[in-house]
Amino acid sequence: MQKEKFLGYLQAPAWTDDDDGRLQISLQGAQRLKKLRKSEEEDIVSGQEYERRLRQQFARIYPRPAWAKLPSEKKLESKKRKAEAGEYEDSDASDQSDDDQLDEEERIDLLKSTYGILERRGTRQLLSSKHIDMIRMKNANQMAPTKGPIMSLGFHPNAQVMMTGGLDKTLRLFQVDGRVNPKIQSMRFKDLPIYTAAFHTSGDQIVLSGRRKHYYIYDVQSGAVDKCPGIWGRDEKSLEKFSISPCGKYIAFLGNSGHIILVSYLTKQWIANLKMNGTVVSADWSSDGRYLFGIGSLGEVYQWDVGQRECVKRWQDDGSLRPHIIRVSRNDKFFATGSPSGIVNLYDQSVLQSDITRPKPIKAIGNLTTTVSDIQFNHDSQLMAISSARKRNSFKLVHLPSATVFSNWPTDRTPLGAVTASAFSPNSDYLALGNRQGRVVLYGIKHYTLQQ
């Protein structure tokens, strides 16, 4: 009976309309829609984003009644009250056993709930470029730290759940509340030190890969694990780097000899190869999944139209020698590249103009001094996190669009460790920073704190 409940806790929709992703709606076209904007200048949003904001607006006007709370939410509220009643200790240490995790009923409830992060959003104002208020929380994985470096971490798209993966071959899921952060479940993969792990956009599954020819699909609903033996027609020795498209249709693996290998998420079968000069080192998607951006060892950035399977734009990264990473902001307005010297080049949309092949960045950010290992944009593209795993506390937050690095945080005394992975929660309430010690340091961003 319990197993049947678990299999059905996150039912897939009976029908979805692909046109919702292509639909464009103006929030300034009608007076009644202006309340849905996040800034005065915002105008066009996709059909899916429009639907999400309408749901948020409905939740604000008609709050959820107390009787509708899930059992796990009631238990967590009780834990929060107890935690608030006791002394708060800002310590990385934890005496909790790795086996301390929620029972099956609670796991079902936590992953079943889509109310948490997305529906309690209040009105948002623009973030100040001068000062940012950060609140130290208990470590996100204090119940079960990773035995070794955190190689990958990410938040569930619809629930207050975070996952971690590392070289100890174990995937762990946590319920993030900032105080208790209980462990939900874990899964060990005997033959896969985890280098990259990512939620599918539906939140139903997690893709995991490492320095192996195969990769895994972990089904969050059933706990089932599918081993994908590799990519037919390709002899890749490692599939350790990949990126899932925001539309959920594709997985892009970084292959050998400058190839990006497109795989269908539905069938797990090869679709196409996208070829660049040199060696491909990083790739990222446009927000609608239509375009894929890749950067190679020669410093060239390629923009591919995935539907047409063709390169539609190329440009040279300014001053780049063997770049390490490229990222695209959630609103498609900014592009960032990171280099071994620690320089982060920030570009705007002018790089997409057909007549520009050597664009100048709007700013070259030089606050890091060792190889840029990670760049992350938050959900509304007002923040960019940059870090280097080669040096302790080598992490900075950048305000956008001013491209100003916040000077008040982090400081020299902020205990971050060597940051190996970072992630913003879906609405930027939390910033999670994984380090070489296997801990995930958690901070609340006051500007985005949930409206209770």
Least confident of 84-98, 233-247, 387-401: 84-98
pLDDT single digits (tens) 82-107: 665 554 444 343 334 444 455 555 55
Would you state the pLDDT for residue 119?
Answer: 44
Residue 278, pLDDT > 80, answer yes
Alpha helices in 185-265 (DSSP H): none
The dihedrals phi and psi of 219, each to the nearest 5 degrees, come to: -85, 110
> Both tokens of residue 246?
């925001």
Q: Name the pLDDT band for 73 (thresholds 50, 70, 90).
A: low
Q: In the chain, how long is the greatest CA-to-CA distance?
A: 63
Q: Are 189 and 216 in contact (CB under 8 A)?
A: yes
Instruction: Tell me the pTM.
Output: 0.76
330 or 75: which leads in pLDDT: 330
As a whole number of angstroms, the distance between CA 407 and CA 161 comes to: 30
Q: Name the pLDDT band for 52 (thresholds 50, 70, 90).
A: confident
Would you state the pLDDT for residue 10?
Answer: 44
Mean pLDDT for the chain? 85
Q: Name the pLDDT band for 239 (thresholds 50, 70, 90).
A: very high
Place of tokens 């280097």: 388
Would you state the pLDDT for residue 23?
Answer: 81
Tell me the mean pLDDT in the region 49-57: 81
| Radius of gyration (C-alpha) of the chain in whole angstroms | 21
As a whole number of angstroms, the distance between CA 377 and CA 212 comes to: 29
> Both tokens of residue 114?
């889509």
As a whole number of angstroms, the distance between CA 111 and CA 28 comes to: 35
**Structural element, H or E, at residue 104:** helix 104-112
Residue 349, pLDDT > 90, answer yes
Would you state the pLDDT for residue 99?
Answer: 44
Least confident of 4-18, 119-133, 263-277, 348-362: 4-18
* Three-class secondary structure of residue 206 per DSSP: strand
Long-range contacts of 250-255 (CB under 8 A, 24+ apart): 250/289, 250/306, 251/207, 252/283, 252/285, 252/292, 253/209, 254/280, 254/281, 254/282, 254/283, 255/280
pLDDT single digits (tens) 116-159: 444 444 445 789 999 999 999 999 999 999 999 999 999 999 88
Residue 4, pLDDT > 60, answer no
Tell me the mean pLDDT in the region 311-324: 92
Would you state the pLDDT for residue 322?
Answer: 85
As a whole number of angstroms, the distance between CA 290 and CA 298 comes to: 24
Residue 78: which residues within 8 A CB-CB, separation 6 or more?
Answer: none
Would you state the pLDDT for residue 51?
Answer: 83
Query: What percent of the chain stands above pLDDT 90?
Result: 67
Would you state the pLDDT for residue 79?
Answer: 63
The amino acid occupying position 314 is R
Instruction: Provide the strand spans (E) within 286-429.
Output: 291-296, 300-305, 310-316, 325-328, 335-338, 344-347, 363-365, 374-377, 383-387, 395-399, 404-405, 419-424
Residue 9, pLDDT > 90, answer no
As a whole number of angstroms, the distance between CA 271 and CA 291 comes to: 15
Q: Are 154 and 198 in contact (CB under 8 A)?
A: yes
106 or 181: which leads in pLDDT: 181
**Structural element, H or E, at residue 117:** helix 116-119
As a whole number of angstroms, the distance between CA 398 and CA 361 comes to: 15
Would you state the pLDDT for residue 449?
Answer: 79
The dihedrals phi and psi of 65, each to the nearest 5 degrees, come to: -70, 155
Q: Are 121 and 56 in contact (CB under 8 A)?
A: yes
* 80 CB-contact burial (10 Å; exposed 0-12 / middle 13-18 / buried 19+): middle
